[in-house]
């Protein structure tokens, strides 16, 4: 919700002032009231802002310990004022907020957006890395859960709706080197561009369209390299089977467009020799491995 995003930025501004000026409780309250009047007059979300602000302050020592554990190379006093208070807000909502009101993915996404808006050039990636690490330590709650607003009964696997998607392992040559284009999600994994197949569209046409939309590349499809199926949850339909067809495709070695999809935060070229060290989802490894073996023969 747009109002909640604005409310979080007001709380961030207040925490920034509290941290920078070592404000006491009374001055912190005055800062919150002033920031509401200046940045969010008439927003009518005071209870949410107070709950978030004072919740962060109450849990601040615990939050800072978690930050130091998740980012051992960055002591709290070395993290910028903006970044460390974005982390405090994100971690508080991730760990202590009502998950029905603030799902884990929302907490992470909101923190990343605030970091991009108020932090430095690499703040978004830094915040994503820390929160993603904590999220994985928590067991990735909510990754496959359905919306709490509509309880949908489980149905047998054979009766689940099937949604067809398409994707590609996209490579490019630059001199003697071969590179693969990968996208990064907010949970710390590198993966492949993929998307829903539209009505009347062939799988090849869908793959070309999706790669162009997501990372800005025009591709030439060479061959199909495999399929992947997994179960996901839709807020309206409940559990669905997602069936993804993957292709090997070539493109020019040009700058990638940063994905605008909510669940993705980066896109990058990697040399084949660098791929082995990346964090992939287990079900993607067979597709990636087959593509790498094909490319090594080129």
**177 vs 14: CA distance, rounded Å:** 49
Residues 157-296, CATH architecture: Alpha-Beta Complex (3.90)
Q: Which residues contact 175 (CB under 8 A, 6 or more apart)?
A: none
pLDDT tens across the length of the chain (298 residues): 458 889 999 999 999 999 999 999 999 999 999 999 988 887 778 899 999 999 999 999 989 988 988 888 888 888 999 999 999 999 999 988 887 888 888 999 999 999 999 998 889 889 998 998 888 777 666 654 433 333 445 678 778 888 899 999 999 999 999 999 999 876 567 899 998 888 899 999 999 999 999 999 999 999 999 998 877 655 456 678 888 999 999 999 999 998 876 567 789 999 998 998 888 877 888 999 999 999 988 7
Whether 232 and 242 have beta carbons less than 8 Å apart is answered as: yes
Q: Check for a shared fold between 2-137 and 157-296.
A: no
Q: Which residues contact 163 (CB under 8 A, 6 or more apart)?
A: 196, 240, 241, 242, 243
Domain segments of the chain as ranges? 2-137, 157-296
pTM over the 0.85 mark? no
Q: Which residues contact 145 (CB under 8 A, 6 or more apart)?
A: 233
Say if residue 142 is exposed, middle or buried (CB neighbours under 10 Å; 0-12, 13-18, 19+).
middle
CATH superfamily of 2-137: NusB-like (1.10.940.10)
């Amino acid at each position: 919700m747009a109002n909640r995003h604005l409310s979080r930025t007001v709380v961030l501004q207040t925490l920034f002032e509290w941290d920078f000026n070592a404000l006491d409780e009374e001055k912190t309250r005055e800062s919150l009231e002033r920031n509401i009047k200046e940045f969010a007059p008439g927003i009518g979300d005071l209870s949410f802002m107070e709950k978030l602000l004072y919740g962060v302050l109450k849990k601040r020592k615990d939050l800072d310990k978690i930050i130091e554990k998740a980012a051992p190379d960055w002591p709290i006093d070395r993290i910028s004022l903006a970044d460390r208070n974005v982390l405090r807000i994100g971690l508080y909502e991730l760990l202590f907020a009502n998950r029905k009101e603030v799902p884990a993915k929302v907490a992470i996404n909101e923190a990343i957006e605030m970091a991009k808006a108020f932090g430095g050039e690499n703040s978004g990636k830094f915040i994503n890395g820390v929160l993603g690490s904590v999220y994985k330590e928590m067991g990735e709650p909510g990754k496959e859960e359905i919306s709490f607003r509509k309880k949908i009964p489980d149905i047998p696997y054979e009766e689940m709706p099937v949604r067809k998607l398409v994707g590609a392992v996209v490579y490019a040559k630059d001199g003697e080197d071969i590179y693969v284009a990968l996208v990064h999600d907010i949970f710390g994994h590198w993966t492949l561009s993929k998307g829903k197949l539209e009505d009347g569209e062939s799988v090849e046409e869908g793959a070309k369209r999706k790669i162009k939309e997501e990372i800005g590349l025009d591709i030439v499809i060479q061959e199909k390299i495999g399929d992947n199926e997994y179960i996901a949850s839709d807020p309206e339909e409940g559990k669905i089977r997602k069936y993804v067809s993957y292709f090997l495709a070539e493109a020019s070695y040009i700058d990638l467009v940063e994905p605008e999809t909510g669940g993705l935060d980066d896109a990058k070229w990697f040399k084949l020799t660098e791929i082995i060290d990346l964090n992939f989802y287990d079900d993607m490894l067979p597709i990636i491995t087959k593509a790498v073996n094909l490319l090594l023969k080129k």
